[in-house]
Chains A and B, each alone.
Chain A
Amino acid sequence: MKKDITQKIGFGFVSLCMFITIFFLFAIIYFISTRGIKVISWEFLTQAPRNAMTQGGVAPAIVGTFYLTLCAILFAFPLGIACAIYLCEYSPKNYVVNLIRVSINNLAGVPSVVFGLFGLTVFVKFFGFGVSILSGSLSLGILILPIIISAAQEALLAVPQSLREASVALGATKWQTIKKIVFPAALPGILTGVILSIGRVAGETAPILFTAAAFYLRGYPKSIFQEVMALPYHIYALMTEGTHPKEQSAIAYGCCLILLFLVLLVSGIAIFIRQRQRSYYHG
C-alpha cells in the first residue's frame, strides 16, 4: 500500500531528526570532556593563571562566575517572584496586565548583547558603578528575569484553586493565603526555575563583555565594585587574545569542561525535579 510506504519514509525521517539532535548533544559533551579532562587537576581548579596565561589554574574565573551568578540571582529572584505573584494572584484581567505579559515575552527575546549595551550605558556610566561585579550581575539579572517569572508563574498556576478557596473560607486574607498556602505549595516549582536560571547566568558571556569581565586580574575581587574574571569570558579571551594560542587553547578546553559540567549539573537537577513535579500534578 502506498500510504504505508509514505508512513515508513515519514517516520524514518522524523526519527532521523531526533537522532541527529541527540547526537549533537553527545558529540559536544564527548569532545569537550575527552580533551578537557587532560588539563583538569587540583592545581587547575585552585590556582591563579601564571606565565601569561599559559600555566597555572583558573580559580579566579571560577570564583568570579560564582559571584556574578549569586548577585544576579539575588537581584532577579525577589523581583521575578513578586511579578509572578502579582500576575497570578492579584492581576485584574485588563490591558495593563496584558502589557506586562507582552513586555516579559519581549524581554525574553532581546539579544543578549543588547543587555550588555544597556548595562554599559545605565549601570556602568549613568549610575557610575563602573566595570564591576555589580554592573555585570544587574545586566545578567535583567536577562534572566523573564525566565524566573515564567517558572514562578507556572508553579503558582499549578497550585489547585481549591487550596486558595479553603484558606479564604477559613477567614484568611488574600496576603495570608498567598504567604501561608500558595507560596509554600509553589516553592519547589519556583526553586526549579531559579536553578535553571543559575545555569543560564553562569554561561552568559555577551552581557558581561563590557560591564564586568576582565581577562586577567591579580588576586580575587574584594568588593562588588571591582572588575572580575569569569569562566565564559575567560574561554573567549583565551581563544582570541594573548600570544600563546596552543597553550591557551588547552586551558580553554579545561574552562569549557568546568563550565559545561557546572551548567549541565545544575540544569540537569532542575530538569529532573521539574519532570517529577509535572507528573505529580498530572497524576
Chain B
Amino acid sequence: MKERIIKWFFTVLAFASLVFLVGIIIVLFKEGMPIFKTVSVQEFLFGKSWYPTFVPAEFGILPLLLASLWVSMGAMLICVPLGVGSALYLNEIASPRQKSLLKPLVEILASIPSIVYGFFGMVILAPFLQDLLHLPIGLCAFTASLVLGIMATPTVCSIAEDALSYVPRAFKEASFAVGANRWQTLVKVTIPAAGSGISTAIILGMSRAIGETMTVLMVAGGAAAIPRSFFDPVRPMTAAIASEMGEAPMGGEHYHALFAIALILFLITFVFNIIAEIASRRYRIKLGLSG
C-alpha cells in the first residue's frame, strides 16, 4: 500500500515539466491572441512598421522577426565552424590530458551568464569593432552576432563532441585499414556517421541564439527598423519583449502584442527543439544505441 502511494507521488510530480510547458503555451495564447482582434495575423507577421506607442499604433513585427533571424544567422556563421571545429579537435587531435583540460574550459565558457556576455559586448567589443571597422555605431547586428556566436559555441561544441564520441571505434579502424589517413577518416567516416548528432548540435545552437535575450538587448542597438546591412542597429524579438514590457500598460494592445511576439518566438524554438529531438533519435537508432 505504502509503495503504491509513493509511486503515485512520484508519478504526479514527474508531470511537473509537462504542466509548466502546457502552462507556458496557454499563457502565451491567452495573452497573445487578443492582439489579433486589432490586427490580422498577416499584418502582424508581415507589417513593416513597429510603432506600438504611436497613435494610431502599428504592430508589424517584420523588423523584429528579421532582426532575430539576421542576428542568429550571423551567430551561426561563427558558432558552427568554431563549435564543430573545436569538437573535432577534442575528439580527434587532443591528447587525453589536453582533453581533460579543454573540455571543462568549454563548459565554463557555457556557464558565463548572458548578462556578462552582453556587458562584454557593450563596453569592450562594440567600441573595439567601431574603431577597427570605422563603423558609425558599435552596437549593431554585427556585434550582436559576434557575441551570440561566442555564446552559442560551447553549446554546439559540447553536443557535437558527444555525438562524435559515440561513433564506434570499429568504423574508424575499418577506414584506417583500407589506407585512409586520419583526416580522410574524419571527413568521410566519422563526420557522416555523427551527422545527425552534429545537426542536433547546430539546431540547438540556433535555438539558443534566437532565444537569447540580455545579450541582444544590450548589444544589438535597439532600432526597430528593417535591417539593411549587418552594421545596422536592430531590435530582435527578445529584446523588444524585454525592453518594452515594463512600459506597456497591462492588458493593453501593446502588452498583448508583446505576448504574441513571445508566442511566435516560442513556436520557432519549439519547432527547432522538435527537429533536434527527431535528429538525435534517428542518430541513436542509426548507431545502434538505445532509443
User: Is B43's CB within 8 Å of the partner chain A?
Assistant: no
User: Is B46's CB within 8 Å of the partner chain A?
Assistant: no
| Chain B residue, CB-CB nearest to A89 | B10
Please give, as numbers and ranges, the residues of chain B lying within 8 Å of A243 by CB-CB distance. none
Please give, as numbers and ranges, the residues of chain A lying within 8 Å of B27 by CB-CB distance. 117-118, 121-122
Asked if B183 and A259 make an inter-chain contact with CB atoms under 8 angstroms apart, the answer reads no
Contact of A103 among B21, B83, B118, B265 (CB under 8 A): B21
Asked if A25 and B259 make an inter-chain contact with CB atoms under 8 angstroms apart, the answer reads no
Given A3-B184, A4-B181, A259:B113 Cβ within 8 A: yes
Task: Sort chain B's interface into a size bin.
Answer: 35 or more
Interface code A96-121, partner B: CB below 8 Å = 1, 0 otherwise?
00011011111111111111111011
User: Is A16's CB within 8 Å of the partner chain B?
Assistant: yes
Asked if A21 and B213 make an inter-chain contact with CB atoms under 8 angstroms apart, the answer reads no
Contact of A112 among B92, B104, B213, B276 (CB under 8 A): B213
Please give, as numbers and ranges, the residues of chain B lying within 8 Å of A160 by CB-CB distance. none
A116–B244 alpha-carbon span in the complex (Å): 13
A118–B237 alpha-carbon span in the complex (Å): 16
A206–B238 alpha-carbon span in the complex (Å): 9
| Chain B residue, CB-CB nearest to A102 | B277
Given A21-B82, A79-B16, A117-B259, A109:B269 Cβ within 8 A: yes
Asked if A252 and B18 make an inter-chain contact with CB atoms under 8 angstroms apart, the answer reads no
Asked if A100 and B17 make an inter-chain contact with CB atoms under 8 angstroms apart, the answer reads yes
Asked if A100 and B266 make an inter-chain contact with CB atoms under 8 angstroms apart, the answer reads no
Asked if B111 and A200 make an inter-chain contact with CB atoms under 8 angstroms apart, the answer reads yes
Please list 25 pairs of residues, one from A and one from B, whose beta carbons are closer than 8 Å in the complex, sorted by A's number.
Answer: A16-B85, A21-B82, A28-B112, A31-B120, A83-B13, A83-B16, A106-B274, A108-B273, A112-B213, A113-B241, A114-B24, A117-B31, A118-B24, A125-B250, A142-B20, A173-B3, A174-B7, A175-B2, A235-B115, A236-B118, A239-B123, A252-B119, A260-B116, A263-B112, A264-B112
Asked if B86 and A21 make an inter-chain contact with CB atoms under 8 angstroms apart, the answer reads yes
Of B53-61, B150-158, B166-174, the one with at least 4 CB within 8 A of chain A: B150-158
User: Is A280's CB within 8 Å of the partner chain B?
Assistant: no
**How many CB-defined contacts (below 8 Å) exist between A and B?**
266
Of B34-42, B129-137, B203-211, B223-231, the one with at least 4 CB within 8 A of chain A: B203-211
User: Is A227's CB within 8 Å of the partner chain B?
Assistant: no
User: Is B109's CB within 8 Å of the partner chain A?
Assistant: yes
Asked if A7 and B116 make an inter-chain contact with CB atoms under 8 angstroms apart, the answer reads no
A282–B27 alpha-carbon span in the complex (Å): 44
Asked if B120 and A106 make an inter-chain contact with CB atoms under 8 angstroms apart, the answer reads no
Contact of B20 among A15, A82, A107 (CB under 8 A): A107
Asked if B17 and A206 make an inter-chain contact with CB atoms under 8 angstroms apart, the answer reads no
Asked if A267 and B107 make an inter-chain contact with CB atoms under 8 angstroms apart, the answer reads yes
A111–B112 alpha-carbon span in the complex (Å): 17
Asked if A79 and B265 make an inter-chain contact with CB atoms under 8 angstroms apart, the answer reads no
A122–B27 alpha-carbon span in the complex (Å): 8
Task: Sort chain A's interface into a size bin.
Answer: 35 or more
Asked if B119 and A256 make an inter-chain contact with CB atoms under 8 angstroms apart, the answer reads yes
Quick one: which of A252-283 are within 8 Å of B by CB?
252-253, 256, 259-260, 263-264, 267-268, 271-272, 275
User: Is A13's CB within 8 Å of the partner chain B?
Assistant: yes
Asked if B14 and A82 make an inter-chain contact with CB atoms under 8 angstroms apart, the answer reads yes
Asked if B17 and A107 make an inter-chain contact with CB atoms under 8 angstroms apart, the answer reads yes
Please give, as numbers and ranges, the residues of chain B lying within 8 Å of A117 by CB-CB distance. 27-28, 31, 241, 245, 258-259, 262
User: Is B77's CB within 8 Å of the partner chain A?
Assistant: no
Please give, as numbers and ranges, the residues of chain B lying within 8 Å of A146 by CB-CB distance. 17
User: Is A90's CB within 8 Å of the partner chain B?
Assistant: yes
Q: Is the interface of B mostly helix, strand, loop or mixed?
A: helix
Asked if B246 and A206 make an inter-chain contact with CB atoms under 8 angstroms apart, the answer reads no
User: Is A190's CB within 8 Å of the partner chain B?
Assistant: no
Q: Is the interface of A mostly helix, strand, loop or mixed?
A: helix
* A interface, CB within 8 angstroms of B: 3-4, 6-7, 10-11, 13-18, 20-22, 24-25, 28, 31-32, 79, 82-83, 85-87, 89-91, 99-100, 102-118, 120-122, 125, 142, 145-146, 149, 173-175, 196, 199-200, 202-206, 209-210, 232, 235-236, 239-240, 249, 252-253, 256, 259-260, 263-264, 267-268, 271-272, 275
A15–B272 alpha-carbon span in the complex (Å): 29
Q: How far is the CB of A24 from chain B (nearest CB, A)?
A: 5
Asked if B13 and A236 make an inter-chain contact with CB atoms under 8 angstroms apart, the answer reads no
A107–B23 alpha-carbon span in the complex (Å): 11
User: Is B287's CB within 8 Å of the partner chain A?
Assistant: no
Asked if B241 and A110 make an inter-chain contact with CB atoms under 8 angstroms apart, the answer reads no
Asked if B211 and A110 make an inter-chain contact with CB atoms under 8 angstroms apart, the answer reads yes
Given A111-B211, A236-B218, A32:B116 Cβ within 8 A: yes
Please give, as numbers and ranges, the residues of chain A lying within 8 Å of B24 by CB-CB distance. 110, 114-115, 118
User: Is B108's CB within 8 Å of the partner chain A?
Assistant: yes
Closest 8 CB pairs of A and B: A203-B113, A17-B85, A111-B211, A7-B183, A86-B14, A82-B13, A267-B111, A18-B89
Please give, as numbers and ranges, the residues of chain B lying within 8 Å of A118 by CB-CB distance. 20, 23-24, 27-28
Asked if B107 and A114 make an inter-chain contact with CB atoms under 8 angstroms apart, the answer reads no
With A24-B153, A275-B104 given, name 18 new contacts (CB 8 A): A3-B181, A10-B186, A14-B85, A18-B90, A18-B94, A28-B120, A79-B16, A86-B13, A89-B10, A103-B18, A106-B21, A108-B273, A112-B211, A146-B17, A203-B113, A206-B214, A209-B245, A263-B113
